[in-house]
Amino acid sequence: MKDLPKTDLKSLNQQLKTGRYMLFFTADWCPDCRFIKPAMPQIENDYPEYQFLKVDRDENIDLAGEMNVMGIPSFIAYSDGKEIGRFSNGDRKTQKEVESFIDSLKIK
């Protein structure tokens, strides 16, 4: 999973213009983020159609605010520059819940 360097929404939108992306908002201090991190390589492997980008919420606090990400861990999916879904709250997420979210995304 690639780390997203500090960026702003305009720059991020340029980067996400083509292809499918899954943004994973996280922070080192977050216990619920640490809970899902061990499952992320398997999730990433199971969904090769998405490029997964790890977004450090603390490093990108302004971006998180612009994107209305109030809880972590959070996942936001993009296809060709358009947001197609989000699983964003402050609750602990299991591998099954994350995979169910990704499975529910229908590319229009």
Domain ranges of the chain: 2-101
pLDDT 10s digits, 52-105 = 999 999 999 999 999 999 899 999 999 999 999 999 877 889 999 999 999 999
pTM recorded for the entire structure: 0.92
User: Of 27, 33, 40, 43, which one is the catalytic site residue?
Assistant: 33
pLDDT 10s digits, 3-24 = 999 999 999 999 999 999 999 9
HSE at residue 72, side-chain half, CA atoms within 13 A, is 22
Determine whether 86 is an active site residue.
no
**CATH dotted code for 2-101:** 3.40.30.10
User: Of 30, 43, 53, 105, which one is the catalytic site residue?
Assistant: 30
Cis? peptide before 73, omega within 30° of 0: yes
Cα separation of 6 and 79, whole Å? 21
Per-residue pLDDT, 92: 87
Determine whether 33 is an active site residue.
yes
Which pair of tokens denotes residue 69? 């990400």
Cα separation of 84 and 36, whole Å? 22
